[in-house]
Amino acid sequence: MATTQKICVYLDYATIPSLNYILHFAQHFEDQETIRLFGLSRFHIPESVIQRYPKGVVQFYPNQEKDFSALLLALKNILIEVKQQQRKCEIELHLNLFHYQLLLLPFLSLYLDTQDYCHLTLKFYDDGSEAISALQELALAPDLAAQIQFEKQQFDELVVKKSFKLSLLSRYFWGKLFESEYIWFNQAILQKAELQILKQEISSSRQMDFAIYQQMSDEQKQLVLEILNIDLNKVAYLKQLMENQPSFLFLGTTLFNITQETKTWLMQMHVDLIQQYCLPSGQFFNNKAGYLCFYKGHPNEKEMNQMILSQFKNLIALPDDIPLEILLLLGVIPSKVGGFASSALFNFTPAQIENIIFFTPRYFEKDNRLHATQYRLMQGLIELGYLDAEKSVTHFEIMQLLTKE
């Protein structure tokens, strides 16, 4: 028995961090000793995978209603056993940077009782659009240096008081307390001059690399496909369609915590906009005669996606539950992409990106979180060279267009 027990904990409510976790697991699939605890919402670790490892080595706990108490209890029992065996442990905690407060703080209350025999490493994965928006906000802060100094003092106090008030900046300073790494969906924004003072304070960081999938062995690739439940025959069919004919992909979206009335409105907005992009009479058709039109809906809106697709005879669906990043790696690459703003746009060139819709006015609205986040994402895409400014379309402009219709 090894003197040190290694434990990997993967926690997420979204897609992009979870996809990184699955790739990380596949990279180390031959490791039969490291205990891996998965607490995910959008993906499942199938029983067929779990059974390939000794009992308890790979465990999966679905994150339902943002409750991962069962996983924490399992981890607690593992740590008790490690202590009883008078062994050391190394915990590597992988978590969503955006949701880190909900994920990290309950974990820390458990970890603080094990510091004498456990070493903790944190791996923060950004959530795509939100991370770009947050860094845009900080780049515009007139007193960023003072805010950073205050946060550093807060972390110094945490060592003594064990608690403090968290802010937007707090997420970037955990390297002061624990070995930490930040993994960015797109770290180009950190090169902005206004953010250099923050970049210097952030511990180790790197860019996400989904292309590592292409470098994996056949066995590793098969493991990824099995976890993601990907039908390669369907992927091959979609790939062939896009290779044989010009194609346009409409990106769908969702809004969280909305009424049924608002959801119905959102669904109709999708239908109206798909017509604007895919029909010759549409405002955003842009000479796409002869193009096949595809639709990629938000994974949280399976029912709405089916209702949208039922309105169109020739609209081809990409699977809801397969991340677009993986489909792109498998060769499902559209000629053009448009629709609602998404972090997926960072996978395309400006020449591929058509008009993009943002839930924001043309001006900045500080008091509306959705508007503010979308506005900063719009500015980030433009500043980083992914989106031509004239191709950005606001929600208010869309409402004017659809009202005229």
Q: Identify the CA nearest to 132 among candidates 353, 328, 378.
A: 378
Write the Ramachandran bin of 203: left for phi over 0, alpha for psi from -120 to 50, otherwise beta: beta
Planar angle of CA 369, 303, 67, nearest 5 degrees: 60
Please, where in the chain does CATH 3.40.50.11110 lie? 230-404
| Cβ-proximal residues to 179 (8 Å cutoff; 6+ apart), any chain | 119, 120, 121, 122, 203
Q: What is the DSSP letter of 315?
A: P
Alpha-carbon gap, residue 295 to 379, rounded angstroms: 25
Alpha-carbon gap, residue 80 to 74, rounded angstroms: 10
Averaged pLDDT, groups of 10, the chain, 405 residues long: 92 92 98 97 95 98 84 96 96 93 85 92 92 90 92 75 71 91 93 94 92 96 95 95 97 89 92 96 92 94 94 94 90 97 92 93 64 87 93 86 70
CA distances from 302 to 11, 40, 237, 313 (A): 23, 18, 21, 18
Per-residue pLDDT at 113: 87
User: Where would I find the H helices in 85-176?
Assistant: 100-111, 129-139, 144-161
Alpha-carbon gap, residue 250 to 317, rounded angstroms: 10
Per-residue pLDDT at 398: 84
Please, where in the chain does CATH 3.40.50.11120 lie? 4-212
What the block records as the tokens of 130 is 């939100």
Per-residue pLDDT at 97: 93
Tell me which CATH code domain 4-212 carries: 3.40.50.11120
3-class SS at 24? helix
Q: How far is CA 52 from the centre of its chain?
A: 28
For 230-404, which CATH class? alpha beta
Per-residue pLDDT at 375: 87
> 260 burial class (0-12, 13-18, 19+ CB within 10 angstroms)?
exposed
| Per-residue three-class SS string for 54-109 | CCCCEEECCCECCECHHHHHHHHHHHHHHHHCCCEEEEEEEEECCCHHHHHHHHHH
Per-residue pLDDT at 160: 64
